[in-house]
Amino acid sequence: MNYKIALIKGDGIGPEVVGEAVKVMDAIGEKFGHKFEYVDILMGGCAIDAVGKSYPEGTAEKCKECDAVLLGAVGGPKWGHSTDPDKRPETALLSIRKDLGLYANLRPAALRPALAESCPLKNDKNIDLMIVRELTGGVYFGKKDRYQTEDRGEEASDLMAYSEKEIERIGRRGFELARLRGKKLASVDKANVLETSRLWRQVMHRLAEEYPDVQYEDVLVDNAAMQLVRAPGQFDVVVTENMFGDILSDEASMITGSIGLLPSASIGDTAPGLYEPIHGSAPDIAGQDKANPIATILSVAMMFRYSFDLPAEAQAIEDAVDAVLNEGWRTADIAKPGETAVGTLKMGELIREKL
C-alpha cells in the first residue's frame, strides 16, 4: 500500500525525533512492502521565522491531502513573548486540532517492562492505561476576556463550555476503547463544583447504559490526580475534558519513567489523524543529539494501528523498542546515574536494526 504522510517537524528537538521516526517508517515499508511518501509542512516557531505566522495559510488543506500527520513539537523561548496570536506557536497547535476536527486525544501510559525500575512508585508497577482527552472544547477554546473593573483592578476570564454533542462523541470513544482493552472506563470530572461537569456526568451515565459490558465509574479530578500516584494499575481507560486531560496525562507520563517515551494520537471522525510525542520541543537539549526519539517512534506505531489499520506493523515497532530497552540501551532521560547513554541517532539506529 502507498501512504502519504504530512511531516510537521516543528522546533527544538522536533526535527531530530521526527527524522528518526521517518527512518523507522522506511524500515517498516521495506519489511512489509509499503511505500511512504512525505510532505514537509512548516508550522510553529520556524514558520514565524520564515513567513511571519505560526500557522501559515493552507496548512490544514495540505494536511487534509495526506493520510496522516506526524508532528514533532512546536514552540520555544524565542517565540514565547508575543501577544499577537499569529506569532505564538501554540496558536498553530490549537488551530490544526480544530481545523482537522481532532476532538479525541489518546494518550497511552504503559510502563515498559525493561524500565520498571524507572517508575518512581514503590508498589503498583502494573501500569497500562489510556487517557482519552477531549481536545477541541472546554476552557482552552472558550471566549477569553480581559477588562478593567472599577474596584478590583484588571480582571480576566476564560469561559468553559461543553455541549451534550461534544461530550457524547468523546464519551463514546472512551467506551469503545475500553471495549477493545480491559473493559473499564473511568470518567473524570469536577461535578461537585462545575456545571459543565454535571452535564458531562449526565451524558456519561446515559451512555453507560448502552455499554453494560464496560465497568464504569465517575472520579473527581482531584481524586484522580491522587489515585494516579497511589495506585495507577486500577485504571484502564480514563476519559476526561480538555484541561483535566492535559494535566492528568502529563502526571501519568511521569509515573512511567520519562516524557521521552510516550506517544499520542489525535483523531476525529475523518482522516487524517495527527500523531505526536507528548513532550514539547525541549529547547534545553535541542541540536545536541540527546533527545529520546522513542515517543515519536511509538507515535508512528499508533498511526499504523489507528489510521492505517496495520496492527502487525505497529506491533513490530513496539517489539523493536522493547527489545532495545531489554538489552539495556538508554538515552540520557531514562539512564540511571552512572549508566552510559546513547544519543538520538544511535537509539533510532538500534530500533531499526531490530526491524
Query: Site residues (CB under 6 A) for ligand NAD?
Result: 13, 17, 73-76, 90, 93, 259-260, 276, 279-285, 291-292, 295, 333
Least distance to ligand NAD, CB of residue 65, Å: 22
Q: Which of 26, 128, 250, 289 is catalytic?
A: 250
Least distance to ligand NAD, CB of residue 291, Å: 4
For residues 57-92, b (16+ Cβ closer than 10 Å) or e, as one string? eebbebbeebbbbbbbbbbbeebeeeeeeeebbebb
Cβ nearer to ligand NAD, comparing 130 with 295: 295
Q: Which of 3, 140, 211, 216 is catalytic?
A: 140
Cβ nearer to ligand NAD, comparing 59 with 292: 292
Least distance to ligand NAD, CB of residue 290, Å: 6
222 tagged catalytic: yes
Least distance to ligand NAD, CB of residue 70, Å: 12
246 tagged catalytic: yes
Q: Using the 8-state DSSP alphabet, how is residue 272 labeled?
A: P
CA 148 to chain CA centroid, Å, is 37
CA distance 276 to 297: 9
Those residues whose C-beta lies under 8 Å from the C-beta of residue 39, and which sit 6 or more positions away, are: 4, 5, 6, 7, 62, 65, 66
Q: Which of 55, 190, 275, 333 is catalytic?
A: 190
Q: Using the 8-state DSSP alphabet, how is residue 279 labeled?
A: S
Name the residue whose CB lies closest to ligand NAD: 280
Whole-angstrom CA distances from 52 to 13, 57, 91, 184, 314 are 21, 11, 13, 46, 37
Least distance to ligand NAD, CB of residue 220, Å: 26
End-to-end CA distance of the chain: 19
250 tagged catalytic: yes
Grid cell at residue 113: 517492562
Cβ nearer to ligand NAD, comparing 86 with 218: 86
Cβ nearer to ligand NAD, comparing 14 with 174: 14
Other beta carbons within 10 angstroms of residue 204's beta carbon come to 22
CA distance 152 to 259: 40
Residue 55, CB half-sphere, CA atoms under 13 Å: how many? 18
Cβ nearer to ligand NAD, comparing 77 with 311: 77
Those residues whose C-beta lies under 8 Å from the C-beta of residue 329, and which sit 6 or more positions away, are: 342, 346, 347, 350
Least distance to ligand NAD, CB of residue 44, Å: 7
User: CA angle, corner 330, sides to 305 and 250, nearest 5?
Assistant: 55
Q: Which of 49, 84, 222, 319 is catalytic?
A: 222
Cβ nearer to ligand NAD, comparing 82 with 126: 82
Catalytic residues: 140, 190, 222, 246, 250
